[in-house]
Amino acid sequence: MDHSFKWQGRYDGEGEAHLRIHQVVNTSQHATYAFIGFSSDEGVKRNKGRVGAADAPDLIRAQLANLPVHQPVTIADLGTVVCDSGKLETAQAELADQVERCLKQGMKPIVLGGGHEVAFGSFSGLFQYIQNHEPNKKIGIINFDAHFDLREADQVTSGTPFLNAATLSAQHQQEFHYLCIGVAKHSNTKILFETADRLNSTYIYDDELQQKNVENIILKIQKFIGKVDYLYITVDLDVFSASIAPGVSAPAVKGVDLSVFDPLLEAIKETGKIKVFDVAECNPRFDLDSRTAKLAAYIIFNYIFD
């Protein structure tokens, strides 16, 4: 684990009304939330995408640092899992152990990616926790993403995490519950749709994600959530338009608008079932004016605060 990031930022004065996130991180023994970085773009590289996402965790932290604290909150920063020498499987296993440890201590992990290979590490951590502590609970995955990430490949990549999760679930005779929100027809091959259908996945197309449809989409999401006990939420930043998320491996031509995303995340949050949350595919190498890192921080801020 890399612990080199220093939490610092603007200081406006004493008292709760002036607080910013950098002033509350690592100030409590028993935190509610825990940041875990995942510095990897090995999965993107294997998937023949644009590398650079390994640099994201600290840049997201830097954008979080100055955001205001609107209600009492305790946050621990557990450092960053680093994928060294292309050893992605080792890094995913280390992340899974960190996520499980957080859950055992009653903290809610927020993982800062990194390529979307982060998802298999995040999911595995929740899966291990449930296997070891609450074996009768069912996990639901909600992935905000233009891509299914259900590719078949000889090794894990940023395009395989949910097929890897389906395989792990099957190995333990567990049902696989997967909802992908923002799927772009032009970004997924026919075989990916066939795989999604074979696995009984639920999916919502990007062109359905309009303000006039928000209530119907929330009903669809609630129906999915009703079948499970705990949720793993993952936000691939390439689900958003390239205008607000230019710094990703695969920028979206179309993308989802925040005016639709925000109420969907709020509705998911209100169920109280979220156990693990991550953001993925922030790629600072292609970012403009830190727009994508700011977007990641904004999403995390809205997850933490009411």
pLDDT at 306: 87
Between CA 134 and CA 177 the distance in angstroms is 17
Question: What's phi and psi for 87, nearest 5 deg?
Answer: -85, 70
Distance CA 83, CA 191 (A): 30
Q: Alpha-carbon distance 288 to 286, whole Å?
A: 7
Q: Rounded to whole angstroms, how far apart are CA atoms 214 and 100? A: 33
**Residue 100 CA neighbour count, 13 Å, CB half:** 18
- Please check whether residue 296 is in contact with residue 248, taking contact to mean a CB–CB distance below 8 angstroms: no
Tens digits of residue pLDDT in 260-289: 999 999 999 999 999 999 999 999 999 999
- CB contact set of 80 (below 8 Å; sequence gap of 6+): 1, 2, 3, 5, 36, 37, 38, 39, 57, 58, 112
H helix runs in 143-290, sequence order: 161-171, 190-198, 214-225, 258-270
The residue extents of the domains of the chain are: 16-304
Residue list for the binding site for Mn(2+): 116, 145, 147, 149, 236, 238
CATH 3.40.800.10 fits domain 16-304: yes
pLDDT tens readout for residues 101-131: 999 999 999 999 999 999 999 999 999 999 9
| Binding site, annotated residues | 116, 145, 147, 149, 236, 238
Average pLDDT for residues 169-182, to the nearest whole number?
97
3-state secondary structure string across 139-180: EEEEEECCCCCCCCCCCCCCCCHHHHHHHHHHHCCCCCEEEE
Which two tokens mark 226?
């009703």
Q: pLDDT tens across 193-212, in order?
A: 999 999 999 999 999 999 99
pLDDT category, 69, cuts 50, 70, 90?
very high
Q: Give the relative orientation of helices 88-104 and 118-133 as an angle to the nearest 10 degrees.
A: 40
Residues 132-173 pLDDT 10s: 999 999 999 999 999 999 999 999 999 999 999 999 999 999
Quote the tokens at residue 58.
């600290």
Q: Are 293 and 62 in contact (CB under 8 A)?
A: yes
- pTM exceeds 0.75: yes
Give yes or no for residue 235 having a pLDDT over 90.
yes
Whether 70 has a pLDDT exceeding 90, the answer reads yes
Return the structure tokens found at 222.
């609630």
